[in-house]
Structure 1
């Protein structure tokens, strides 16, 4: 088991934001080599103006925006994150409080200037985790749209038009070639690096790579910004993990388009740890990219 931890009680205090890492980590700040099949090779994109970007005033879109997953997959499953039966989601209204402020609403501008929505979550002062298809569009069929997105506006703890921590724009993204090269849903994860230390104000989540038996006894928690609810509102649901395989985690937790990139968290001793990155829907269960040891190592490196 590999675990990186941020105690919930200390999340609001910038002086106490240094990450606490598990004893099996030992790789923070080191380059991560490709996996045996090459699919864990890290890819990155950074526009030249990145260091000049800073916090800015958010302006509302003039029309409702669609889930970034539709840019790569179209409006139908497998990426139409799904409500199964009765909608159990609960609206979060105290989004300025921890842990809800760790989740960020995303306004994404693709290479062709089309705009989309998604979700991400902080793992450090500068770094948020999200789905690979949030930062890199594949197989859209639209001229000029595929590839790294142009920019992402990050709005932590957003509640409609209220931005308790303002917003910051990033043009610095990471993913792996399993997604950017192959479009393989098993490797659909990425990261956003922001040019401020906003995460030191919001706090962040830990993350870990646990064995199957532990995950199958776990309750998954997902909060994010679904497009089927009033724009920019945060919604939460939780349910037991249904099943796992080597690279994915499956759960009957209600979500909707716009929540691509949300954290799938477990709670241990009051602390929240990401176990997967939510990305896909299905007829009976939704799913996310599992935080395996290679994913864990990449997140540690990207956070550093």
Structure 2
């Protein structure tokens, strides 16, 4: 049952919670999570990112925020605010490590305890969307995330795949996970569906294409769109440049803006 606003604690001001899932690593789940948050921000929404990929916290690096520190307030942890207007809130285990390249060598119970603490003890304030970047797979960490968020009635999950058959097959298992845990599937995103030439801006299909859309149709869930692989975005991140300014110039931006629009539309429908 959904909690009343007065019982939601630090999530009382969060309107919609969206989980981003992938069946395997390396499909760009964290990239899609970050870019989706930026696209929603560009659409005028207040956005937070909760990075619960405990063994691979890459979101702080993507947003050039890896050297920031997390502070405490009366309500718990204060997230790191990034962007020109400091209007995107970010929380990650990366902020809690002594060194950015420290390995998290923890057993399941300790990971699950931190996940629950992230859900309850981060003072998010007022947000339109909280994007939850999850680890790849369908492990006990995912069960801990879903169970911790269930009382807050998450909007649903976005599943990320690449066009190859292996990745699409893993997403089938992710669909089964969502069905078994009662998590609504907002749709499937096919990432790296093509390669954008940095010289002529022509798109070329490096892999097969259409696997994500075919899977969505077969599973009866929405297909949110294809996102091209834009090497310029990778160069921006690797060079420590300001992704907030450069992202709207990317050829991947229209695809992410369209996906954000579909999620906004879905959020409006599910709220009715």
Of Structure 1 and Structure 2, the greater strand share is in 1
Query: Where on the TM-score scale, by shorter chain, does this alignment land: which range?
Result: under 0.3
**TM-score for both structures, normalised by structure 2:** 0.26
Between Structure 1 and Structure 2, the one with more helix by share is 2
